[in-house]
């Protein structure tokens, strides 16, 4: 069993590295905030991340339960419609789309 001093030293090193890795992007971003690339990324990255998440979730859903394909596509349409109708509120649209999917799968 390692000594207490050794464990404390390891935890201090892990804490320092983790804090540095999480803080560095914010420190660098402060200097790049006016950059055209960063401004474009701030617009397109959330869309890209949600698209990847949606494709992954739909693929898993369709592969696991092929009869739920229509339900998944209807839930996606509701999610997109809600997102556009209610001022692009991601939490609201994803929540309503998820609720619609769960209701469709469990009701039919």
| Domain co-membership, 28 together with 65 | no
The tally of domains found in the chain comes to 2
Burial of 8 (0-12, 13-18, 19+ CB in 10 A): exposed
**87: which DSSP letter?**
T
Same domain, 23 and 57: no
Average confidence score pLDDT of the chain: 90
Res 35 pLDDT > 90: no
d(CA 91, CA 83): 9
Assigned domain for 28 exists: yes
Per-residue pLDDT tens for 62-90? 888 888 899 999 999 999 999 999 988 88
> Residues 16, 66: one domain?
no
3-state percent breakdown (helix, strand, coil) of the chain, nearest 5: 90, 0, 10
Q: Is residue 39 part of a domain?
A: no
Residue 88: what pLDDT? 84
What torsion do the CA atoms of 92, 98, 101, 107 make, to the nearest 10 degrees? -90
Q: Same structural domain for residues 28 and 51?
A: no
Range among 9-13, 38-42, 44-48 rated most confident: 9-13
Residue 6: give the domain boundaries: 1-33
């Amino acid at each position: 069993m390692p000594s207490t001093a050794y464990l404390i030293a390891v935890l201090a090193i892990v804490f320092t590295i983790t804090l540095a890795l999480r803080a560095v992007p914010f420190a660098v971003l402060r200097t790049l905030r006016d950059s055209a690339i960063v401004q474009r990324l701030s617009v397109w990255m959330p869309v890209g991340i949600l698209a990847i998440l949606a494709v992954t979730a739909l693929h898993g859903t369709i592969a696991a339960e092929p009869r739920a394909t229509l339900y998944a596509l209807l839930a996606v349409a509701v999610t997109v419609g809600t997102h556009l109708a209610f001022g692009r509120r991601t939490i609201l649209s994803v929540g309503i789309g998820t609720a619609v999917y769960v209701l469709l799968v469990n009701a039919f």
